[in-house]
Structures are given as structure tokens and as C-alpha cells.
Amino acid sequence: MTDTIIKPGFPMWQDAMTSSGDSRGHRGRPDWSDIVFFLVLAGGAAYALLHFGSSMDYYEKVILCGAVAAFSWLAWLWRPIRTLIIASGLSALFAIWLYSNGGGLGQGDITRAEHVFFLKYLFSSQSAILWMCTLFVLATVCYWIGIFSNTAAWLGTVLTWGAVYAGVTGMLVRWREGHLLGPDIGHVPVSNLYEVFVLFSLITALFYLYYERRYATRALGGFVLMVVSSAVIFLLWYSFTRDAFAIQPLTPALKSWWMKLHVPANFIGYGTFSLAAMVGFAYLIKEHGQTASRARLIPLFILGAVLCAEPFVFGEKELSIVWVLYFGLGAIIVGAILALRGPIANKLPSLEILDDIMYRAIAVGFAFFTLATILGALWAADAWGTYWQWDPKETWALIVWLNYAAWLHMRLMKGLRGSMAAYWALGGLLITSFAFLGVNMFLSGLHSYGEL
């Protein structure tokens, strides 16, 4: 199995950018629409500071102002994010207005979610997140059908955007619902397993949509959305068996502005690492697409089966029929992908493009995971008086960081490319998954806020 060295700047990558409408390496100067969008965000932040500033400390005000700058920059860099923010923001405001029964934004009755039609079926946080889960699963199916039908692939993109819209709306509304339950209950919704699984799904899908447009290919949708669908299945199981969707007060250690920075940065890392793993899986399918050697496919089958066994590990400590069935279905799906590797490989982008996406995703994830680790150390010093205690979560975070640091070092210093890089990225998903969930399931420590 040979690993070819891919030099940067290859023509196919440039062709993909051009066909996706992103022919420039960098955006030009912001136009009037960028300025208007910035003013809208700034106006919203000013309103929040004016009416709710007394409930915010100095650092939270700085984070709010920084968020305006960050989202304005993202919207300039990638225009679809602007549409998402506006649509989700308007939907969330509509839901807040429904909760307030037409009154001010500072008023509201949480019980209205039970009998107001649009809240009950569309815009309450639980309803919106359930729509997100449904649309992600449907999008996964459409992407796989889209291997053989361009129309279905297009529908997969539409459904994925719809799922992201529903999820972002649900998270914004959930934030408000917490405050309606009580002044000490409301918090940014990134504090428990239910909330961070939603966040993980949204981040992974958004990064995929960015690369889909940048490289003008929908063939990777089925691969990336598989890991999102796995998260969705766990989210649904966890929600209805543990009532995890209920909004609970924060534990004292989580009542900190550090959480608003540490958790999103962490899950940008988790999301991009997962995306890179699935692109690595696609790389191996592409490489073996024209190969009939059964011996060379055995490692690929094992890795694919282990990947789909991930939700099985997420299950209860005692074997559950739900997870046995899910594991069996996952094995069947991987087997079908391997059996149809020839036509699937023909639809996938070139190995060069797959390698480039994998590298870019890991590079972005590593940067944010490094930032999250630093922020976590500072938070620990603030909460517990020490930067590092070798808590299981901290230890596994270090293992994840070292894994991807080694991957990037081998690529930049030793020219790591091809199947070895893909196998490594795919294996890295197992390490990341254990750091994300396994620690909560099998270990205990200071970070055990989301035990199963």
C-alpha cells in the first residue's frame, strides 16, 4: 500500500473552489450587506446590554461584544452563515414572543409550550431539536441515495441546512426557557450531555457544509452525516430514557463565564476531528474502490465496524436490545458500503481533495482544542486553585491533543499522506470518543457532570 505525497496547490483543488463559487482565496472588502449585518448584531448586543446588563458580569459583557465581532467575521468569510444566523434568530425571537403572549422580551410563561401550536410542534426547544434529529437522519439517507442520484444529494444538502437551522433555533430558545423557569436556572445551553450532543451535531454538520461548498462535492455527505446520525440516535435514547431534555440548574463549578468559551472551543475540536475521521474512511474507500483483494479490505472492514460500534459503547453498561440492534444495523451499513465501494469510489472526489479536507479539518480542530485545553486549565485554576490535577477528563484530553499533535507533526515534518494518514485519522475518532463520552461512562472525577 503506497502513500503518495501530495503537493499543495494542485489544480483539482482550485477547480473545485471555482465551481463552488469560491474562486478567491480570500474575500474582498466587506460590502454594504456585511456592514448592515454587523450593525444588526451590534444593535442586538446593545439591547441585551441595556436591558439585561445588570445580570451580566464584566467578562460576560466582553464575550458578548466579542461574539458580535466573531460572527460578523464568519458571515463575511462564509455568506451562508449569515442567512442561518438571521433565520434562526428571527425564529427564536418569534418563539420568545409566543412565550410572552405578545408582551415584552423580559416576560414569559414556560407552560405555554404545552398548548400554543407553534411552540408545541415547531419552536419550543424540545420540538426544534427533535426536528433537527429527524432532518439529520433523513439527510443521511438522501446523501447515500445521492451517490446514484444528484437530485437526492441536493435534497440531502437542503435537509442538512434545515437540521442546522432547527438545532440552532432550539438551542437559542432553550437558553430563554431556562430563564423562564427561574432566575438561577437559565444558562447558556452547553452544560450537560444533552446540550453538548446537540452542539456537536451542529458543529460537525456546519463544517461539513462549508467543505461541501468549498470543494463542490456532495459525495462526502453520507460519510460525515453517519457520525452525526450516530450522535442523534444517542441523543434521542438519552433524552427519553433519562429525561435529559429537562433544563436543570447548574452545579456551582459550572456557574462561570469560562464555560461560554471552553465548551464551544472544545466541541469545535471534537466536531472537526470526527469530520476528518469520516473523510479518512472515504479516502480508504476511494483508494480500495478498484481493488478486489480481500486481504487488503480486512483492516478497512474492521475499522468501519468499530466506527459503527461506537453507539453500542454509548449504551447502558448492561447489554441493551436497542444497542444490539443498532450495532447490527451499523455493521450491515458498513458492509454495504464496502460491497458497493466501486461505484461509491467513482463518485468521491480525488484522493488529493480528500487528503486536503482531512488535513484542514484536523488543523482547525487542533487549534481550537489547544485553545480549549488552555481555557480549561485557566478555569480549573479559578474554580479549584490549580491548573492541572490529572483528572481522567484532563488526562484523556491530553491524550487526544498528543494524538493530533503527532499527526500534524508527521504530516508537516515527514510528509505523512495517503492511507496511513487516513487510518490514523479514523483511529483518532476512537480516542476522541472515549475522551468525550467514555470518561463519563467508565471513569469518575471532577468533570463528571454528564454521567450516563
3-state secondary structure of 386: coil
CA atoms within 13 A on the CB side of 388: 8
DSSP string over 229-292:
HHHHHHHHHHHHHHTTTS--PPPGGG-STTHHHHHHHHHHHHHHHHHHHHHHHHHHHHHHTT--
Whether 360 and 399 have beta carbons less than 8 Å apart is answered as no
Mean pLDDT of the chain: 84
pTM score, two decimals?
A: 0.88
Q: Which residue has the higher pLDDT, 36 or 311?
A: 36
**Rounded mean pLDDT, 262-285:** 95
| CA-based nearest residue to 328, from 299, 304, 308 | 308
Q: Residue 356 and residue 326: Cα distance in Å, rounded?
A: 32
Whole-number Å distance between alpha carbons of 235 and 9 = 40
Rounded Cα distance between 415 and 12, Å, is 20
Q: Percentage of residues in the chain with pLDDT exceeding 70?
A: 82
Quote the radius of gyration of the chain (alpha carbons, Å). Answer: 22
In the predicted structure, residue 312 carries a pLDDT above the cut 70: no
Residue 61 clears pLDDT 50, i.e. is over it: yes
User: What are the tens digits of pLDDT across the range 196-215?
Assistant: 999 999 999 999 999 999 99
Reported as a single tens digit per residue, the pLDDT across 333-350 is 877 887 788 889 999 999
In which residue are the cell numbers 446588563 written?
53
Q: Which residues contact 375 (CB under 8 A, 6 or more apart)?
A: 258, 261, 262, 265
pLDDT for the residue numbered 308? 57
